[in-house]
Amino acid sequence: MKKLLAVTACPTGIAHTFMAAEALDQAAKAKDVSLKVETRGSVGAENELTEEEIREAHAIILAVDTNVDEDRFQGKNVIRVGVSEAIKDPSGLIDRALEMEEKSADEYVEQVQNKKKEKGAERQGFYKHLMNGVSFMIPLVVAGGLLIALSFVFGIDAAENEGSLAYYLMETGGAAFSLMVPILAGYIAYSIADKPGLAPGLVGGMLAEQVEAGFLGGIIAGFLAGYVALLIKKYFKVPRNLEGIMPVLVIPFFATLITGLLMFYIINDPVAGIMGGLENWLQSMTGANAFILGLVLGGMMAIDMGGPVNKTAYAFAVGLLASEIYGPMAAVMAAGMTPPLGLWLATVIGKKRFTNEEQQAGKAASVLGISFITEGAIPFAAADPLRVIPSLVAGSAVAGSLAMIFEAALRVPHGGVFVLFIPNAVTNVLLYALAIAIGTVVTALFVVLLKRNSPQAKAAQANE
């Protein structure tokens, strides 16, 4: 038997969308034809068509007065009419759809494959969700990072003076940074589960931030929240007249509850464990070979940028300042500067590997890099963790170990290039700058090399 599909949508999405859907449903029932109707009203898409259903369908009726994504129907029989047509003459539409010539399944499959090739990974779920989250996060990273960098202009410790302009700049930048992970998680979940995913995603991201799980924790929170919301939407059925409470009450409540508890039970404790373990490990290495200590500290700085591993390395180095051991601090800062600097360099020498948005973010990353604001690298790492993080770790490990070998020493725990102007803050300034430069180049080369076949590179090429 021929199977039909339909999509209905109207500008306000309140009345005609559903009347058309009901009219088509009724007409199909009267004719004993299999028909599934997706409604795209103001409550969002309901009864969504799956890829499998589209593949098996004989034809698709689009009764829409707004733009709907027609790409997914490429290679299929499609009838396109206004929404009122479906209300007026649903059975005529169904007849027309049934009379259309059979298109071979191969044609559709071929089209789908072409489409996938064309758009690269833009359409592949995992990266699509990540990139959605990252694209909402980038403005926060850029604005927050630049504001914090700006506060350094007034002097390296100017921001500690409560009530000063530098203090307010630092606070504002800090506020933007604290939203970074929640927004990342929220919009990953939004991409997965639509509007009902946003609340659990934001909350999950906030918890990741609070338990200091960093952006990697945020990514986990986003996917967790998104799929939990999606599963509830799919499998939790309520009587039709109660459906109204699903998107506003049932899904947000349960998805947030489940995500929140999972964050505490499966993320919080391991994170605390990791931090404790690493701390002991670093303590045991205090007397070890300087080169190895620099390598380890450097790598740790770049693994999760602001997450538990990074924080442990940073805290370790800051702790040593009190004992007048300044080498590890220099290694840590060099390693914290190379990730954004390296990515900036990569966007310059390997433009084609990055989306437009990333190229712009790259410019800001250069400023954040010289200011020792490692977070500038997060959008890149979050969008393509498996390729970017190893590159960052490599560059940072090199920078960290070189800083130790060159016997650079740093007496303040922050500031980036701005400390270079402070007398006696840094020992072996020139060699120290060289260590950072080499680390930057290593990072950039790795990124450009590894991102050859990345989804971003493909997406960027597809856009050309």
Partner 1 sequence: MQLSEILKNEHVLLDVNVNSREACIDELSKLMENTGVVSDSAVYKDAVLKREEEGSTGIGFGVAIPHGKSSGVEEAGLAFARLSDEIDWQSLDGKPVKSVFLIAIPEEKAGNEHLQILSQLSRKLMHEDFRNKLLQATSSDELIAALDE
- What are the catalytic residues? 10
Q: Which is nearer to partner 1, 88 or 117 (CB)?
A: 88
Instruction: Report how far residue 131's alpha carbon sits from residue 272's, in angstroms, rounded to the nearest whole number.
Output: 28
Q: Which is nearer to partner 1, 82 or 139 (CB)?
A: 82
Tell me which of 22, 53, 56, 171 binds partner 1, using CB under 8 A. Answer: 22
Q: Which is nearer to partner 1, 14 or 165 (CB)?
A: 14
Q: Which is nearer to partner 1, 244 or 273 (CB)?
A: 244
Q: How many CB atoms lie within 10 A of CB 209?
A: 23
Binders of partner 1 in range 73-92 (CB under 8 A): 84, 87-88
Tell me which of 6, 7, 23, 459 binds partner 1, using CB under 8 A. Answer: 23
Residues in Cβ contact with 310 at an 8 Å cutoff, skipping those fewer than 6 apart: 214, 300, 301, 302, 303, 304, 336, 374
Q: Which is nearer to partner 1, 27 or 180 (CB)?
A: 27
Name the segment binding partner 1 (CB under 8 A); options: 242-250, 339-347, 356-364, 405-413: 242-250
Type of residue numbered 387: R
Residues in Cβ contact with 236 at an 8 Å cutoff, skipping those fewer than 6 apart: 246, 250, 251, 254
Q: How many CB atoms lie within 10 A of CB 393?
A: 21
Q: Which is nearer to partner 1, 11 or 125 (CB)?
A: 11
The DSSP annotation for 370-412 comes to HTT-GGGGHHHHHHSHHHHHHHHHHHHHHHHHHHHHTT-EESS
Q: Which is nearer to partner 1, 105 or 248 (CB)?
A: 248
CB of 83 to partner 1, least distance (A): 9
Helices (H), 32-164: 51-56, 83-88, 90-99, 105-119, 125-152
31 counts as binding partner 1 under rule CB under 8 A: no
Instruction: Report how far residue 461's alpha carbon sits from residue 254's, in angstroms, rounded to the nearest whole number.
Output: 41
Q: Which is nearer to partner 1, 43 or 295 (CB)?
A: 43
Sheet holding 59-64, edge to edge: 44-46, 34-41, 3-9, 59-64, 77-81
Cα 270 from chain centre: 22
Tell me which of 139, 174, 247, 390 binds partner 1, using CB under 8 A. Answer: 247
Residue with tokens 């390693």: 335
Name the segment binding partner 1 (CB under 8 A); options: 143-151, 238-246, 286-294, 333-341: 238-246
237 counts as binding partner 1 under rule CB under 8 A: no
Residue with tokens 């071979």: 104
Tell me which of 34, 42, 283, 286 binds partner 1, using CB under 8 A. Answer: 42
135 counts as binding partner 1 under rule CB under 8 A: no
CB of 81 to partner 1, least distance (A): 13
Burial of 391 (0-12, 13-18, 19+ CB in 10 A): buried
154 counts as binding partner 1 under rule CB under 8 A: no
Tell me which of 244, 273, 276, 277 binds partner 1, using CB under 8 A. Answer: 244
Burial of 259 (0-12, 13-18, 19+ CB in 10 A): buried
Q: Which residues pair with 448 in a beta bridge?
A: none
Name the segment binding partner 1 (CB under 8 A); options: 158-166, 237-245, 324-332, 336-344: 237-245
404 counts as binding partner 1 under rule CB under 8 A: no
Binders of partner 1 in range 192-221 (CB under 8 A): none
Name the segment binding partner 1 (CB under 8 A); options: 39-47, 296-304, 380-388, 408-416: 39-47
Instruction: Report how far residue 303's alpha carbon sits from residue 343's, in angstroms, rounded to the nearest whole number.
Output: 14
Tell me which of 4, 36, 41, 200 binds partner 1, using CB under 8 A. Answer: 41
Count interface residues toward partner 1 (CB under 8 A): 30
245 counts as binding partner 1 under rule CB under 8 A: yes
256 counts as binding partner 1 under rule CB under 8 A: no
CB of 14 to partner 1, least distance (A): 6
Residues in Cβ contact with 120 at an 8 Å cutoff, skipping those fewer than 6 apart: 455, 457, 458, 459, 461, 462
443 counts as binding partner 1 under rule CB under 8 A: no
Binders of partner 1 in range 295-334 (CB under 8 A): none
155 φψ region: left (φ > 0), alpha (ψ -120 to 50), beta (else)? left
Name the segment binding partner 1 (CB under 8 A); options: 118-126, 174-182, 247-255, 360-368: 247-255
Instruction: Report how far residue 358's alpha carbon sits from residue 408's, in angstroms, rounded to the nearest whole number.
Output: 33
35 counts as binding partner 1 under rule CB under 8 A: no
CB of 21 to partner 1, least distance (A): 7
Half-sphere exposure of 136 (CA within 13 A, CB side): 21
Q: Give the N- to C-terminal CA distance of the chain in Å, as an integer.
A: 43
Give the closest residue to 91 by CA, choosing from 28, 165, 142: 28
11 counts as binding partner 1 under rule CB under 8 A: yes
Q: Which is nearer to partner 1, 175 or 249 (CB)?
A: 249
Q: Which residues bind partner 1 (CB under 8 A)?
A: 11-19, 21-23, 26, 39, 41-44, 65, 84, 87-88, 240-241, 243-245, 247-249
